[in-house]
């Protein structure tokens, strides 16, 4: 379809791929470009950068929020939601109850699509990471002790109830199903005509033996959960593409590390906070014995400085040192694909081109559908059933 004079919404528009897609979209002169990101500062920063990049007459609109929770929980972190009984029950209800009009109307994603009514949605949010890194395995270890106490009849009912609710809040597939249900219904009602998902393999294209993790065991169950969620998401989009009143649905799934956003020397941050430097004088060192005292950091001396180094910013995957980046980008490892190449394919697919990189189209052509032979046999089967019913 033609992009010019259409309303385009980019979910995750501040990210590495999102910004590349926004820049390419502006070259097509849409009527409005809505840049959605999780945080207000991200959405506004992205829009300011895009306005400097383009002199087109396109209206560039920032918008922000968490598309996986209801409007009433916007601005709350995952930890704040899980530690509040009311919010936990809201999350469980929105995820596990029947899909009702009430569930739709209070969804932030539904309200956002209702407000802007975009013709085209490009979804750059790494949904698989957002869901899988809620880490049901960590939740299991927390509830394990409570469950043992419950079986022995000495549990704390409130603590046990809290951990059970937290596990329910971390169920991967129900979250994913509800997300796709809300997305489909919103796009159907407000006549969105084209949806493109930027997916993931979860491993940068590597196999089950991927050695790179976020400090988990190898291979990481959490990382493999990410791949599993990504695959389930693809199949749900495959079904959406086969739904008569759904928008044209496509998915581009990079199978390499996407890089890069910037290369510079500067402050290293984790969780948007600078990594502080500490020293541990030998006389205050923690003695290694049968037990490790986790409060040993009380003996550390704050140097009043932060960690600085040369790094590559790869967007959603975080920052890498020279050695780390050199390792993952080596031949035979993840290697690299650029965000600009992904953006080019997205725009080309929207405009009707065939890049060969649409996963939905690939599945359509690779699956084994109905056959002529089975159709002929169907007629014979129906005739035999009719004959038996008339006896």
Mean pLDDT of 195-211: 95
Domain membership flag for residue 368: yes
Domain membership flag for residue 313: yes
Residues 247 and 211 in one domain: yes
Residues 214 and 65 in one domain: yes
Residue 351 banded pLDDT, cuts 50, 70, 90: very high
Rounded Cα distance between 221 and 362, Å, is 28
In this prediction, residue 257 carries a pLDDT of 95
Residues 105 and 199 in one domain: yes
> Which 8-state DSSP code applies to residue 299?
G
Residues 242 and 273 in one domain: no
Higher pLDDT, residue 146 or 266: 266
Range of the domain at 235: 7-135+170-256+338-372
Q: Which of 137-151, 226-240, 291-305 comes out lowest in average pLDDT?
A: 291-305
pTM of the model: 0.92
**In sequence order, what are the beta bridge partners of 203?**
none
Does the pLDDT at position 156 exceed 90? no
Domain membership flag for residue 385: no
Higher pLDDT, residue 56 or 349: 349
Does the pLDDT at position 298 exceed 80? no
From the number of C-beta atoms within 10 Å of its C-beta (0-12, 13-18, 19+), residue 170 rates as: buried
Rounded Cα distance between 56 and 29, Å, is 6
The contacts of residue 389 (CB under 8 Å, 6+ apart) are none
Domain membership flag for residue 153: no
Residues 49 and 80 in one domain: yes
Residues 195 and 300 in one domain: no
Rounded Cα distance between 208 and 219, Å, is 7
Mean pLDDT of 211-233: 89
Mean pLDDT of 310-332: 93
Domain count, the chain: 2
In this prediction, residue 290 carries a pLDDT of 83
What DSSP line would sit under 306-326, residue for residue? E-EEEEEE-GGG-EE-HHHHH
Domain membership flag for residue 161: no
Residues 96 and 127 in one domain: yes
b/e sequence 59-93, b meaning 16+ C-beta within 10 Å: ebebbbbbbbbbeebeeeebeebbeeeebbebbbe
Residues 218 and 350 in one domain: yes
Residues 321 and 210 in one domain: no
Residues 233 and 122 in one domain: yes
In this prediction, residue 291 carries a pLDDT of 82
Domain membership flag for residue 146: no
Does the pLDDT at position 296 exceed 70? no
Residues 199 and 243 in one domain: yes
In this prediction, residue 122 carries a pLDDT of 99
Mean pLDDT of 360-385: 97
Rounded Cα distance between 128 and 68, Å, is 12
Domain membership flag for residue 273: yes
Mean pLDDT of 271-287: 86
* pLDDT tens per residue across span 33-81: 999 999 999 999 999 999 998 887 999 999 999 999 999 999 999 999 9
Residue 349 banded pLDDT, cuts 50, 70, 90: very high
Single out the residue of 70, 108, 102, 68 nearest to residue 86, CA to CA. 70
Does the pLDDT at position 272 exceed 90? no
Share the mean pLDDT of the chain: 94
In this prediction, residue 323 carries a pLDDT of 95
Residues 95 and 237 in one domain: yes
* pLDDT tens per residue across span 108-128: 999 999 999 999 999 999 999
Domain membership flag for residue 378: no
Mean pLDDT of 342-359: 97
In this prediction, residue 178 carries a pLDDT of 98
**DSSP-derived 3-state class of residue 271:** coil
What DSSP line would sit under 20-62, residue for residue? HHHHHHHTT--SEEEEEESSHHHHHHHHHHHHHH--SS-EEEE
What DSSP line would sit under 203-224, residue for residue? STT--TT----SSS-SS-HHHH
b/e sequence 18-36, b meaning 16+ C-beta within 10 Å: bbbbbbbbbebebebbbbb
Terminal-to-terminal C-alpha distance of the chain: 56
CATH number for 78: 3.40.50.720
């Amino acid at each position: 379809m033609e992009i010019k004079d259409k309303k385009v919404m980019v979910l995750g528009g501040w990210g590495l791929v999102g910004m590349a897609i926004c820049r390419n979209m502006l070259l097509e002169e849409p009527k409005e470009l809505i840049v959605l990101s999780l945080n207000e500062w991200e959405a506004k920063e992205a829009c300011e950068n895009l306005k400097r990049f383009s002199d087109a007459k396109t209206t560039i609109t920032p918008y922000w929020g968490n598309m996986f929770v209801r409007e009433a929980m916007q601005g709350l972190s995952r930890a704040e939601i899980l530690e509040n009984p009311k919010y936990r029950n809201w999350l469980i209800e929105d995820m596990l109850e029947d899909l009702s009009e009430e569930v739709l109307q209070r969804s932030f994603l539904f309200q956002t699509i209702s407000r802007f009514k975009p013709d085209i949605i490009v979804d750059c949010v790494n949904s698989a990471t957002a869901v899988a890194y809620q880490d049901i395995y960590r939740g299991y270890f927390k509830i394990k002790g409570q469950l043992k106490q419950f079986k022995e009849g000495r549990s704390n009912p409130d603590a046990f109830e809290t951990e059970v609710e937290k596990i329910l809040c971390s169920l991967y597939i129900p979250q994913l199903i509800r997300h796709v249900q809300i997305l489909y219904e919103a796009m159907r009602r407000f006549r969105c005509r084209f949806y493109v998902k930027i997916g993931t393999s979860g491993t940068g294209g590597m196999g089950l033996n991927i050695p790179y993790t976020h400090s988990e065991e190898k291979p990481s169950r959490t990382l493999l959960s990410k791949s599993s969620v990504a695959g389930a998401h693809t199949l749900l989009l495959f079904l959406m593409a086969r739904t008569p009143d759904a928008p044209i649905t496509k998915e581009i799934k990079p199978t390499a590390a996407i890089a890069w956003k910037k290369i510079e020397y500067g402050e290293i941050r984790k969780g948007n906070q600078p990594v502080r430097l500490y020293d541990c004088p030998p006389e205050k060192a923690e003695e290694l014995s049968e037990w490790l005292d986790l409060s040993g950091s009380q003996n550390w001396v704050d140097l009043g400085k932060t960690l600085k180094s040369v790094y590559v910013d790869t967007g959603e995957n975080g920052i890498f040192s020279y050695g780390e980046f050199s390792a993952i980008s080596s031949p035979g490892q993840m290697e690299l694909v650029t965000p600009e190449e992904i953006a080019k394919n997205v725009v080309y697919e929207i405009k009707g081109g065939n890049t060969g990189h649409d996963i939905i189209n690939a599945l359509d052509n690779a699956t084994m559908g109905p056959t002529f032979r089975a159709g002929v046999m169907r007629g014979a089967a129906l005739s035999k059933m009719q004959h038996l019913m008339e006896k």
